Amino acid sequence: MCLVLGVGLIGGAIAGAVLAATDTGRPEEPTGFEEARTLWHSVPVDTLFPRTLAGPGAGPGTAARAWTRVVVAPDAPCSTTTLSRSVLTSLRSVGCDRVVRATYTDATSSSVITVGLVFTQADPAAMRALGSGIGADLPPALAGPGTVAARFGDGQRASWWTRALPDLPVVVYSVSGFADGRRVDTPQPADQAMAAGQTTAPAQAGLGHEAKGVADRVERGLRKAATAAAKENDR
């Protein structure tokens, strides 16, 4: 009996080791990963940046938010004009293709939010390695002459959010500010501005929520577009 039990345990251990080796092998590429690389020129701008975005529960205290697009920039190369220095530096090792950007305003036209999609040449492992530390500094703002975002420049940036997607070769970022052109001397990352008890100007104005809310919804639309492209290729 002991012999049988011992053989069984040894066999189980060997099988477990084989399975562990398989599990630690190269992971399967996420659905839509390759298709996402070309979405910046293969889908309509209204797909990447809808004219309106709904944000139920996206504001402070889960208040509802809604945003309207006021300007879209042509696709552009990866540079300090379109990216923060930390993102640009992080992507040099994996390759960066194009950046597309748009600016939204909230329902009261009191805040403006630039959101960007950065399409990279990275593979899945490289995207996972980029992590959350990619967005250590403020992204550039996109002004819109003749719109509520006409005075949205570097000095008006108040809060920002940056995320390297682990399952798509894209970095999503956003930066928010006041629509009246007031200068913000101490910008604050969105996760800090949204924390309880914050009394900074960006926090009290809900600009952390604005930055993250717009970025989240643009990211969701990007994922839907990538999944749809993958399904189309499978037909």
**Whole-structure pTM value:** 0.87
- The two structure tokens encoding residue 175: 């930066």
Residue whose pair of structure tokens reads 């052109």 in the numeric block: 181
Per the structure block, which two tokens stand in for 80? Answer: 């300090």
pLDDT at 24 over 70: no
Residue 8 pLDDT exceeds 50: no
Distance from chain centroid for Cα 201: 24
Confidence band of 25 (pLDDT split at 50, 70, 90): low
pLDDT in tens, 115-164: 999 999 999 999 999 986 787 899 999 999 999 999 999 999 999 999 99
Give the start-end residues of each E strand in 62-186: 65-76, 96-106, 111-120, 157-164, 170-178
Residues, the chain, total?
235
